[in-house]
Structure 1
Amino acid sequence: MDPSSSKHLHLHYTTPAVSWDEALPLGNGRLGCLVYGRPGKELIQLNEDSVWYGGPQDRIPDSRSHLPRLRELIRAGKHAEAEELVRTAFYANPSSMRHYEPLGTLMLEFSDSEHAVGGIGDVQMDDSGEDVGEVRNYKRSLDLETATARASYARKGTSIQSDILASYPDNVIAIRISASRTCRFHVRLTRLGEVEWETQEYLDSVTAVDTNRLLMKATPGGANSNRLAAVLGVRCDDGIGTVKPFGGTLMVEATVCTIVLGAQTTFRHADPGFAAMAEVSKALDRGWLRMLERHITDYKSLFHRTSLRMWPDNSSIPTDKRIKESRDPGLVALYHNYGRYLMISSSRDGEKALPATLQGIWNPSFAPAWGSKYTININIQMNYWPVAACNLMECALPLVSLLERMAERGKVTARKMYGCKGWCAHHNTDIWADTAPQDRWMPATLWPLSGVWLVNDCIGMLQHKYDHNLHERLFSSLQGSIDFLLDFLISDSSGKFLVTNPSLSPENTFITSSGKEGILCEGSAMDMSIVRLAFENFLWSCGRISPSNSLISSAMSVISCIQPLIINDQGLIQEWGLADYTEKEPGHRHVSHLFALYPHNAISPMKSTALCEAAKKVLDRRAAHGGGHTGWSRAWLLNMHARLLDDEGCGKHMDLLLENSTLPNMLNTHPPFQIDGNFGACAGVLECLVQSTIMPDWPYRLLIRILPACPKEWDRGEMKGVRVKNGWKVSFDWKKGRKVDHVEVEGTEEGNSVATVLFPDGERVEVDGLGCHEVSRGKTPASRWAGEMGLPLP
């Protein structure tokens, strides 16, 4: 844990956190915490991913009899009447599903702590004039290489250091307090919101168990909620220290001690207190050093699969000042690496595993923004965009588990709301896999394609690392979504194309030629891109695992009839299907009609210059009207500009993301905090550095572009182990002027594919898929087939 060993992977500060936006996150995928690093009165806010308000609900409206009328009104352009029918018949009751809550708050209150919360370097005096609170040599850091946080300082002649980790192998949060001489502090466990001076405690009881344990029990509100239990244990490691229960707290006197916290709910255990107590006891018996070793070994097995460094690297500047003043290429690399760290920390497989929410696992509020739920009209999808390229497929398994539960509950939703087979979901879900409409907000609520999008993204991950067993798991959900689409799609008014109806472009609003506002349409650009991709994924999947599937012929017929993307008279991709409406908000945060550009790749410089030009005009129009004003939206724009090989645009959007949408602790802000921007930009940085395309003539031919959209400011760098399509891995470094001399590529174990490596200067080199190759410019024959394909150069 030497903080000097890998400075480029450190977030570090010279002052403690004053607010949650400055505190440092740790997590083991299930348990999470935000560490403030405060002298005298340390504050650690706690989360456990199954602590949610309430239990499962039955909210699905029986609206299928109203669907024909709704479709008629939408086709006739009677927008006000259509929306009134939606409000009457299609909204759920209650309108909102469940929301995520904090686990609790842990405080370490040192003697004289009331004097020690002042400014760093300030001298605090008591009534007699004695110096009691001076804090010097303060340092606070988060080490991404070991997933550990540290705070150290000297106070009243005593040096104190706290180290903290969230262990996946031991299933606990552990803290090590070390002091140069015996110090006294109280350990307090409670359940407070993010406002520290509030007096409400959302708990049932806190009791001392034995001499060195605290047990906190709580029952979140709402029917059938998950009861929770948190257990805290302390062990003195110096041989002379003591731990005593004291008024619902533990009083510790020691030079070195270990504090361990475990927590469970009835979501996973009938007796969460018993389960948490057992985990804490095992961890304390194991001891700090063994826990630390097990934690680092486990974490590095994931984090070290890929790496990225860039220079210049001003890592010596404190991170909060660096975000404001420097924004150097090394900070961009740190942002990417931080995204990988956050993924490993907030989404791990295990018993009834849950994916990362809108805030990962780090929610401080009992009334969080948007419920800190799973928002699935882009946000949870964006959370998992970097997983495949960063070779972290295990981290996506909690998402697959939630998808499987959604597919089961979504069968009732599809039948009752639309009279369709298969399953569907709307734009949110929760811990109970709720698939009914969320909210009563017309621009978002009635959109039944979120589940289809989620399936598409999970299937897309298999193109980077194929797993037959995972494919079989996903295929059931995929086929269920195809069943739904086969029933849900209808012919357009011309009878030529198949479209969705009702349809919308998520969260956006249009203006008709008569000046009226509208939302609902037929066959929005996003809908039809998602539908086409779903059927393509289905046919690809059938070729792998279900070659005689009875739906193959139907799927092939549908693909030939799907409404294609339209370029309107302004040269823009038309957002609302066949109707060329004007946007009410041209700088809107969603760029849904460019789904085919990213995360899909149907719009590509290799496939259609006209569609690429239209997509670029959409992005230019968004930028001219203030687009990208939310952090996650800016991250989406970064990926889209990368796909258009626009290095200048990528540099601009990454810089604006750091400048306007990054908190002092490097978490992304909408505002408020949303973690999807961290994950979206984590993926976007890699899109600037390497892209891969499976060639249409033969699925085992791969084009690997090196530095396709690398901003000129990213002067020098080194990337290792990034996984691209067909299972290949790529490593290289580059110098000023985007000069790349060597690229190391590693094919799949089967070796059944070939790849063309396209260097930044346009040179192409072909390699086979067997083993590892070092590809050098000018030393390997250029690919004949790549040239024959006429692939465009950057």
Structure 2
Amino acid sequence: MTSSHVPDRTGCRDDASPFSYDTTNQHLHLHYTSPAAEWSHALPVGNGRLGAMVYGRPGAELMQLNEDSVWYGGPQDRTPRNAAKHLPLLRQLIRSGKHVEAEELVRRAFFSTPHSMRHYEPLGKVEIEFHHASVEGYKRWLDLETAITSVVYQYEKVDGTVVKVRRDVICSYPDQTMILRVVASEKIQFVVRVNRTSEVEWETNEFLDSVESSGNRIVMHATPGGKNSNRLCTVLGVTVDDLKDGGLVEAIGNCLVVTSACCTIAIGAHTTYRQADPEAAAISDVDSALARPWSELLQRQVADFQTLFGRVSLRIWPDVSSTPTSVRLAASPPDAGLAALYHSYGRYLLIACSRPCPYGKPLPANLQGIWNPSFAPPWGSKYTININLQMNYWPASNANLPECFFGPVVNLLERMAVRGAVTAHTMYGCSGWCAHHNTDIWADTDPQDRWMPSTLWPLGGAWVCIDAVEMLKTHYNREMHVRLAQVLHGAVSFLLDFLIPSADGKHFVTNPSLSPENTFIDPKTGVKGILCEGSTMDTTIVRWAFELYLWSDKKLQPDSPGRLRNIVRSALARLQPLEVSPSNEILQEWGNQDYAESEPGHRHVSHLLGLYPGRYISRRKTSKLCDAAARVLQRRAAHGGGHTGWSRAWLINLHARLGEAEECERHIELLLSNSTMPNLLDNHPPFQIDGNFGGSAGILECLVQAEEGIMETKQGGKEKGVVIELLPACPSSWERGEVKGVCVLGGWSVSFSWEDGVVEDVVVTREEEGLYGAVIVFPGGKQANVHGPGKHVVSTTEKGLQTGKVVGFDLD
């Protein structure tokens, strides 16, 4: 047994933490009257790299820990070596409608060995034995505005003395540590342990190397497993503020026994992914944090967090935020204010799981953000790039969090472009780079799994690249543009090589192609098929990539076009158009083939990519395609579509683009009632965080939308502009509300309030000279034009409101 030597720090009440629940800004609280019984009730904290699920248990507290670079295994070489040799035959079989033969060839020549990429694992867990089993006055909450999760309660000692306890947890970005503050009305004793245990008990030895305690510190080392895996180290340190009054930290075995009325616990962790010596780095983080008083740690964390979270706000009434969150969630229908909380929670989660990393090599949010409790997580908790990673970042644009997107995603794209060049050349004989429907920490670009409806689809990387470049149109960043231009050039080069002439020679199509995870019935043979030529999703991605390349190249090199510009423009003109089915008037999913869906209620609606997040299908620009897209959604709904959380979230955004407020309201209610766990995390099932982000973006999409158009100038001429529509799909139950700081195309920020569908004064702001002016379209169709940078207040009572107008959408 050794006593710790910790700094002598007085001021046990330096934070004056109350032993009660503070209801200030309660509309931004998730709050509960009982501790978390299981993971789906625990509350998440994170700083982009480190994360924890905090259970808030008074007896045996549990904090499930994650660090974004803890993955099983190192880089792999899985590229199918002879695939390109078999590509001509595969294309011929697909074009001939020989579905069975084509799929058999894919199994033999195009699947990877091993078939799976690496998977994400937990960092470990902190267990704290308080032994406060019978408590009163219990309250647990997460304050989204400050990113603090707290617990208060009281218990009675044997002698009748009532002891009050408060615990606060933050995950500090400035200090790169998890901080737990424990304050009590008198000294209490508790035991702290750090561990890393598998759900399967006998597997634990495979994932844990050592745990040792000494002084006021616990150090845990582990190797996640797999060849060339990152090694990890977690360090936990404790300091007591009441050392002179008998506060004490003792190391016993591999745990710490703390006796104190006010103490701070700091947790740091690193892996060899970023640090050659993860133990030294983690100790440095912990010691630096513990050298600061709690009040300073808290101030630094809150100030940093609010620079991001405070940019956008949303309130919707009626609101019953004083009611515990789990009770609100169980209500049918839920109160309108819960949708606003859900949106704010999405912004909170994105900040907590995806930020630039001060140690370099940032990683994006995976299928579970950073909060994964399992050593064998669903779908490996990887980066799935046929919808899921993209959906993770849908709110990054309109909710004004570009930093959360650019650093992590662009870093991954740059590494994928290197690895994907090998995949493109070896598998398809193409220049440039490509990636299939998944990637991992090592930017693996080869086919994942051996599941025909998803595996052989080499356009996943192009879609991620599109999202990154598209982000520049709202949040322009020249440094990121220059970096992305190189990545986009490679993605477009691959697409140009991968395209082949259609059977009639009129168009360019992708082959092999598929519509992610969906299957069809070939009406000619009755055979169930998967592979096709030029799926609607593929065509949309190729068109979008080509148009963004032209925009990007012209913006970076206005007077010296890149060598690809004319080639891209020529190929763009020959892309296959979107087709409407003559049999049921829905948008065709498999290109120019009028195939029937084998699963009409399928969760993916990939062929509607051009409606959302794209803008090729629009109520104003393409009414026929818009009607066909609406019929797709009607057909999906009639057959049970939207049954997963992320799919339901996509439907909200799609219906919002169609201006269908009632459908948006229905799907938001279903997302909350059927696909949301008590801690408001998305339930696929199982947990998958993309639904939170997609739903968060969709709620804003109901209130503000924007697209490019032609607007009238002050002189009566015409110029490119952004059409900003207010309340395009606002549910009728959202009787009153206010939104501030929503970002749209052209760098515009929009704020306004509304009541009973009537918009009050609008403030639109653009900090710098942007791409376009803007036309503000109010409910009912009235319009107003704004030009130039600065703050513009548009009053709904001004006579000038009716003078501004949109005059067209032909941007060429």
Same fold, TM-score > 0.5, yes or no? yes
The structure-2 alpha-carbon separation of the partners of 1:370 and 1:790, relative to structure 1 and needing over 3 Å to count, comes to closer
Indicate which of 265, 270, 277 corresponds to 1:271: 277
- In the alignment, what sits opposite 1:170? 175
The structure-2 alpha-carbon separation of the partners of 1:218 and 1:752, relative to structure 1 and needing over 3 Å to count, comes to closer
Structure-2 separation of matches of 1:195 and 1:300: 40
- In the alignment, what sits opposite 1:585? 599
Q: How does 1:540-619 map to 2 (within 5 A)?
A: 540-547=551-558, 548-569=561-582, 570-619=584-633
1:455 equivalent to 2:465? Answer yes
Q: Which runs of 4+ in 1 moved over 3 A?
A: 193-201, 696-700, 782-785, 787-791
- In the alignment, what sits opposite 2:39? 20
- In the alignment, what sits opposite 1:440? 450
Q: How does 1:451-600 map to 2 (within 5 A)?
A: 451-513=461-523, 514-547=525-558, 548-569=561-582, 570-600=584-614
1:379 equivalent to 2:398? Answer no
1:237 equivalent to 2:241? Answer yes
Shift in Å, 1:200: 6.3
Shift in Å, 1:316: 1.0
Shift in Å, 1:197: 12
Shift in Å, 1:790: 9.1
Structure-2 separation of matches of 1:696 and 1:408: 39
- In the alignment, what sits opposite 1:284? 290
> Does the CA-based 8 Å contact 2:50-2:67 persist in structure 1?
yes
Structure-2 separation of matches of 1:788 and 1:486: 35
Indicate which of 218, 243, 259 corresponds to 1:253: 259
Give the match's secondary structure for 1:387: helix
Structure-2 separation of matches of 1:187 and 1:197: 23
Structure 2: runs of 5 or more not aligned: 1-16, 157-161, 712-717
Structure-2 separation of matches of 1:747 and 1:699: 18
Shift in Å, 1:573: 0.5
- In the alignment, what sits opposite 1:191? 196
- In the alignment, what sits opposite 1:330? 337
> Does the CA-based 8 Å contact 1:746-1:769 persist in structure 2?
no
Structure-2 separation of matches of 1:750 and 1:377: 35
Shift in Å, 1:222: 0.4
> Does the CA-based 8 Å contact 2:139-2:152 persist in structure 1?
yes
Amino acid at match of 1:730: V
Structure-2 separation of matches of 1:364 and 1:586: 34
Structure-1 separation of matches of 2:260 and 2:490: 59
Structure-2 separation of matches of 1:75 and 1:751: 46
Structure-2 separation of matches of 1:304 and 1:770: 22
> Does the CA-based 8 Å contact 2:675-2:682 persist in structure 1?
yes
The structure-2 alpha-carbon separation of the partners of 1:784 and 1:539, relative to structure 1 and needing over 3 Å to count, comes to farther
- In the alignment, what sits opposite 1:713? 733
Structure-2 separation of matches of 1:11 and 1:520: 45
Amino acid at match of 2:103: E
- In the alignment, what sits opposite 1:645? 659
- In the alignment, what sits opposite 1:56? 75
Shift in Å, 1:749: 1.6
Give the match's secondary structure for 1:781: helix
Deviates more, 1:18-27 or 1:778-787: 778-787
Shift in Å, 1:699: 6.9
Shift in Å, 1:774: 1.1
- In the alignment, what sits opposite 2:11? none
> Does the CA-based 8 Å contact 1:757-1:764 persist in structure 2?
yes
Structure-2 separation of matches of 1:353 and 1:700: 36
Amino acid at match of 1:371: G
Amino acid at match of 1:202: F
Structure-2 separation of matches of 1:787 and 1:51: 51
> Does the CA-based 8 Å contact 1:587-1:622 persist in structure 2?
yes
- In the alignment, what sits opposite 2:715? none
1:228 equivalent to 2:242? Answer no
The structure-2 alpha-carbon separation of the partners of 1:187 and 1:201, relative to structure 1 and needing over 3 Å to count, comes to farther
Q: How does 1:656-671 map to 2 (within 5 A)?
A: 656-671=670-685
- In the alignment, what sits opposite 2:647? 633
Structure-2 separation of matches of 1:379 and 1:134: 43
Amino acid at match of 1:46: L
- In the alignment, what sits opposite 2:402? 393
Structure-2 separation of matches of 1:177 and 1:543: 57
Shift in Å, 1:469: 1.4
> Does the CA-based 8 Å contact 2:785-2:804 persist in structure 1?
no
Give the match's secondary structure for 1:261: strand
Structure-2 separation of matches of 1:730 and 1:290: 34
Indicate which of 720, 734, 741 corresponds to 2:754: 734
The structure-2 alpha-carbon separation of the partners of 1:198 and 1:224, relative to structure 1 and needing over 3 Å to count, comes to closer
Indicate which of 122, 128, 134 corresponds to 1:108: 128
Structure-2 separation of matches of 1:28 and 1:77: 51
Amino acid at match of 1:770: P
Structure-2 separation of matches of 1:790 and 1:364: 49
Give the match's secondary structure for 2:694: helix
Structure-2 separation of matches of 1:465 and 1:458: 10
Amino acid at match of 2:576: Q
For residues 264-298 of structure 1, give each alpha carbon's deviation from its aligned partner in whole angstroms, at most 9, with x where no partner exists: 00000011000000110000001211111100000
Shift in Å, 1:501: 0.0
Structure-1 separation of matches of 2:204 and 2:708: 58
Indicate which of 337, 347, 355 corresponds to 2:354: 347
Amino acid at match of 1:675: I
Shift in Å, 1:645: 0.5
Give the match's secondary structure for 2:593: coil
RMSD: 1.5
Q: How does 1:409-420 map to 2 (within 5 A)?
A: 409-420=419-430
- In the alignment, what sits opposite 1:621? 635
1:154 equivalent to 2:177? Answer no
Amino acid at match of 1:295: Q
The structure-2 alpha-carbon separation of the partners of 1:603 and 1:751, relative to structure 1 and needing over 3 Å to count, comes to closer
> Does the CA-based 8 Å contact 2:702-2:729 persist in structure 1?
yes
Amino acid at match of 1:559: L
Shift in Å, 1:192: 1.9
Structure-2 separation of matches of 1:400 and 1:345: 18
Structure-1 separation of matches of 2:69 and 2:806: 54
Structure-1 separation of matches of 2:603 and 2:808: 37
Structure-1 separation of matches of 2:87 and 2:646: 34
- In the alignment, what sits opposite 2:14? none
What is the aligned length? Answer: 769
Amino acid at match of 1:305: R
Give the match's secondary structure for 1:47: strand
Structure-2 separation of matches of 1:138 and 1:318: 12
For residues 301-350 of structure 1, give each alpha carbon's deviation from its aligned partner in whole angstroms, at most 9, with x where no partner exists: 00001100111111111111110115111100000000000000000102
Indicate which of 639, 655, 667 corresponds to 2:669: 655
Structure-1 separation of matches of 2:499 and 2:185: 71
> Does the CA-based 8 Å contact 1:726-1:748 persist in structure 2?
no
- In the alignment, what sits opposite 1:9? 28
Structure-1 separation of matches of 2:775 and 2:270: 50
Amino acid at match of 2:435: A
The structure-2 alpha-carbon separation of the partners of 1:777 and 1:93, relative to structure 1 and needing over 3 Å to count, comes to same
Amino acid at match of 2:247: G
Q: How does 1:418-437 map to 2 (within 5 A)?
A: 418-437=428-447
Structure-1 separation of matches of 2:386 and 2:204: 37
1:681 equivalent to 2:695? Answer yes
Shift in Å, 1:748: 4.0
Amino acid at match of 2:151: A
Amino acid at match of 1:335: Y
Shift in Å, 1:785: 6.4
Shift in Å, 1:365: 0.1
Shift in Å, 1:741: 2.4
Deviates more, 1:192-201 or 1:593-602: 192-201
Amino acid at match of 2:61: E
Give the match's secondary structure for 2:282: helix
- In the alignment, what sits opposite 1:128? none
Structure-1 separation of matches of 2:461 and 2:338: 35
For residues 91-149 of structure 1, give each alpha carbon's deviation from its aligned partner in whole angstroms, at most 9, with x where no partner exists: 00000000000000101112xx2xx5xxxxxxxxxxxxxxxx42110000000000000
For residues 170-222 of structure 1, give each alpha carbon's deviation from its aligned partner in whole angstroms, at most 9, with x where no partner exists: 0000000011111111100000245899976831000113x100000001110
Structure-2 separation of matches of 1:323 and 1:196: 35
The structure-2 alpha-carbon separation of the partners of 1:596 and 1:107, relative to structure 1 and needing over 3 Å to count, comes to same
